[in-house]
């Protein structure tokens, strides 16, 4: 297959254009245009089976696209893979290490497989990576004695043996207990703070919401939305609740302002504001002589946005 050009990638650590993967008659990834800004922590969201891992494998040159193109760090893939991949660290589908070796010995073996690394500096490089993920004190412990959180952090250490501009982490908190999840989340934040771009694939909405600056939502192989976290939340409807002893009059004012789905209870009027600024509502109510004893606005959660985009629920556990 001829490589398609993903176009200019200025300001983007990852960019794809029409990226597609079919296995026989099944389309697993369907023409996605991914844009990951340099310096972002990009949450690549979607249920298991939505095409996230296949997309990541295409980004890294592990799977050949059926159509479309990829740029990593401004360079076309896979043509420039030998130049680009040394600056990319990746954890795909969980860590795999020798259980009978220590954490340090596992990383030394991994480092020895890197033809671009100087073997003379391997010990210092390995210890620096272990220290970076908080495992230096456990470096001599056998891998089989590591907790799940420690194993995930060791895998990330393996991706950090040499300096990286881009880190691609596929489900880095998968299967972890709350403590392990916190450890990985804090590590991702510190890596981004040091200037790396991080793409985090996950089906755990709560985790992504806490650590990511940008989001992309996958559904049945398609990228249905992407942007900053604030932009995606802004796609959902804002609901206003007016507490009043004149709910009928309050509902009439909401209708006049352009609110939709307006309904009342004995003490409230509720409506979806759409483009109506919340501050305009109270002013209009007072102007109409409606007594207001309380006013609150409920903005959509990330889960609300996901459901509105896909019509499906989502795993929001952490």
In tens, the pLDDT along 35-85 reads 999 999 999 988 778 899 999 999 999 999 999 999 999 999 988 988 998
Is 263 within the bounds of a domain?
yes
- Encode pLDDT of 266-297 as tens digits: 999 999 887 788 889 999 999 999 999 999 98
Question: Do 89 and 188 have their domain in common?
Answer: yes
Percent of all residues in the chain with a pLDDT value above 70, rounded to a whole number: 92
CA distance 154 to 160: 10
Using a 10 angstrom Cβ sphere, with 0-12 exposed, 13-18 middle and 19 or more buried, the burial of residue 136 is middle
Is 286 within the bounds of a domain?
yes
- Residue ending a domain, among 217, 233, 249, is 233
Question: Do 244 and 289 have their domain in common?
Answer: yes
The boundaries of the domain holding residue 217 are: 12-233
Question: Do 152 and 281 have their domain in common?
Answer: no
Is 311 within the bounds of a domain?
no
Question: Do 33 and 85 have their domain in common?
Answer: yes
| CATH code where residue 292 lies | 3.30.70.100
- Residue 174 sits at φ, ψ, to 5 deg, of -65, 125
Question: Do 218 and 143 have their domain in common?
Answer: yes
Strand partners, 218: 223
Rounded CA Rg of the chain: 24
State the average pLDDT for the chain. 86
Name the DSSP letter for residue 32: E
Give Cβ neighbours of residue 105 (< 8 Å, ≥ 6 apart).
98
């Amino acid at each position: 297959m001829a490589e398609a050009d993903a176009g200019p990638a200025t300001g983007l650590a990852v960019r794809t254009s029409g990226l597609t993967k079919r296995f026989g008659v099944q389309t697993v990834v369907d023409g996605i245009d991914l844009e990951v800004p340099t310096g972002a922590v990009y949450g690549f969201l979607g249920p298991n089976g939505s095409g996230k891992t296949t997309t990541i494998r295409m980004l890294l040159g592990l799977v050949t696209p059926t159509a479309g193109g990829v740029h990593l760090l401004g360079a076309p893939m896979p043509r420039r893979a030998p130049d680009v991949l040394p600056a990319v660290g990746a954890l795909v589908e969980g860590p795999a290490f020798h259980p009978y070796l220590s954490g340090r010995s596992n990383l030394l073996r991994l480092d020895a497989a890197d033809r671009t690394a100087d073997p003379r500096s391997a010990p210092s490089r390995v210890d620096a990576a272990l220290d970076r993920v908080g495992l230096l004190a456990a470096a001599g412990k056998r891998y089989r004695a590591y907790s799940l959180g420690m194993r995930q952090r060791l895998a990330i250490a393996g991706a950090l043996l040499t300096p990286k501009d881009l880190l691609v982490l596929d489900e880095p908190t998968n299967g972890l207990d709350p403590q392990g999840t916190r450890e990985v989340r804090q590590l991702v934040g510190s890596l981004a703070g040091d200037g790396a771009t991080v793409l985090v694939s996950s089906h755990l909405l709560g985790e992504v919401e806490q650590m990511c600056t940008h989001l992309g939502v996958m559904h049945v192989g398609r990228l249905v939305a992407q942007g900053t976290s604030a932009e995606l939340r802004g796609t959902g409807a804002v609901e206003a609740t007016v507490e009043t002893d004149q709910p009928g009059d309050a509902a009439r004012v909401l209708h006049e302002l352009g609110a939709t789905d307006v309904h009342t209870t004995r003490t409230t009027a509720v409506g979806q504001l759409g483009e109506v600024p919340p501050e305009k509502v109270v002013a209009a109510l007072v102007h109409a002589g409606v007594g207001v004893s309380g006013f609150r606005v409920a903005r959509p959660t990330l889960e609300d946005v996901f459901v509105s985009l896909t019509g499906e629920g989502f795993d929001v556990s952490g």
